[in-house]
Amino acid sequence: DTGRVESYDPSGRKNWSIQTGATEMGFHGSAAIVEGVAYIGGYNGDLYAIDVDSGDLVWHVTSADLAGALAIGSSPAYYEGVLYVVAEYWDPSAGALWAIDAETGEPIHVDDRMWGQPHPSATIDLEEQRLVAGSNDGAVYAWTFPCLDFEWKFQAGPEGGPDGTVKADGEFNHGAQVKGTAPTFDGRVYVGSWDNHVYCLDITDGEELWSVETGDIVMSNPAADPNEDVVYVGSSDHYVYALDAQTGEEHWSTNVGGRVISSVTVTDETVLVGSSGSYLYALEKETGEPRWRVENRGYVTSAAVPLDGRIYYAERAVVDGYYDDDDEFDLVEPGHAYCLVGD
């Protein structure tokens, strides 16, 4: 949230650090790394391309270059030299999908039909030739890929989302926000919503195939396992669910001691997930039984990334009074990045 981008080697030694202009609210998305360049959007509405080896800035696209973007909370998606970035706008509350030349940063295409300041990253399904993204208006949007002709819109609800009009101050009626990036496979899209539901949609036309209600809002990114035909998703009701990808039938649910904000990561045998209970959990994929858990300082809000026998993840800082009405709070403990090794 300081607006810095930093690189570390596997031992934890810092390689480099670069200060960007995203100093007010920092970075909410992950970087896309392609051929030695890291692409990341800031919550100031700017997009940065950074050399992975040196930390030097390759190019910088400003908010003004993106029609006055308020913020980029999504992670860029990349395909064949093009970045696909979802940007947020204010007055009115809206969003846009941008296609940007990855080599130069030059905008190529924009579709500004989204509403409600979208946070999720775009999902590209090459087999079905679709690009899918959700938004805070409770809707999921889909385009053909790579030509980006608009195909369909699915509205979660029924209480959430816009009622077809924008209020005078630019705010939409909320209640079914889609915050997480939607995985796809086998012609289906899996979406979590703040209306407490997980939806399975036909990626071709947006038809709802099934939905499952949890005990609270669904904010995290679901994880789909095509080999097992199972979708794993966390909810703010403190549970992680394993759902049959074809029917939505529950295989198991496990309490992880806090709200699940982070993405769910699935390996061959394990489901990795963090929670507001300040633990990172490893759950048995077949049964949901906890294999182990590691206690941290703050909320575990990032995805856990397994690589070469290690697990990398990050936490949110510990703050006192952050959710109070007076907008004043104290930093108790900075957020940390972690690397787990061994058993």
Per-residue pLDDT tens over the stretch 212-229: 999 999 998 999 999 999
Q: Kindly list the distances between the CA atom of residue 1 and the CA atoms of 21, 27, 54, 127, 330, in Å, as whole numbers in the listed order.
A: 11, 6, 22, 36, 15
Q: For all residues of the chain together, what is the average pLDDT? A: 92
Proportion of the chain above pLDDT 70, given as a percent: 93
Given a cut of 50, whether residue 28 has pLDDT beyond it is: yes
pLDDT score of 320? 86
pLDDT mean over 283-306: 94
Confidence of residue 314 (pLDDT cuts 50, 70, 90): very high
pLDDT score of 85? 98
Given a cut of 50, whether residue 161 has pLDDT beyond it is: no
- Cα atoms found within 13 Å of the Cα of residue 302, Cβ hemisphere only: 23
pLDDT mean over 8-22: 94
More confident residue, 2 or 40: 40
Which of 84, 93, 100 is closest to 114 using CA atoms?
93
Confidence of residue 149 (pLDDT cuts 50, 70, 90): very high
Asked if 247 and 260 count as a contact pair (C-beta separation under 8 A), the reply is no
Given a cut of 70, whether residue 160 has pLDDT beyond it is: no
pLDDT score of 174? 64
Confidence of residue 169 (pLDDT cuts 50, 70, 90): very low
Which of 99, 57, 54 is closest to 81 using CA atoms?
99
Given a cut of 60, whether residue 328 has pLDDT beyond it is: yes
Which of 262, 243, 138 is closest to 190 using CA atoms?
243
Given a cut of 70, whether residue 298 has pLDDT beyond it is: yes
* Residue given tokens 């969003």 in the structure block: 95
- Pick left, alpha or beta for residue 63 (phi over 0 → left; psi -120 to 50 → alpha; otherwise beta): alpha
pLDDT score of 92? 85
Helices (H), the chain: none
pLDDT score of 25? 87
Given a cut of 60, whether residue 170 has pLDDT beyond it is: no
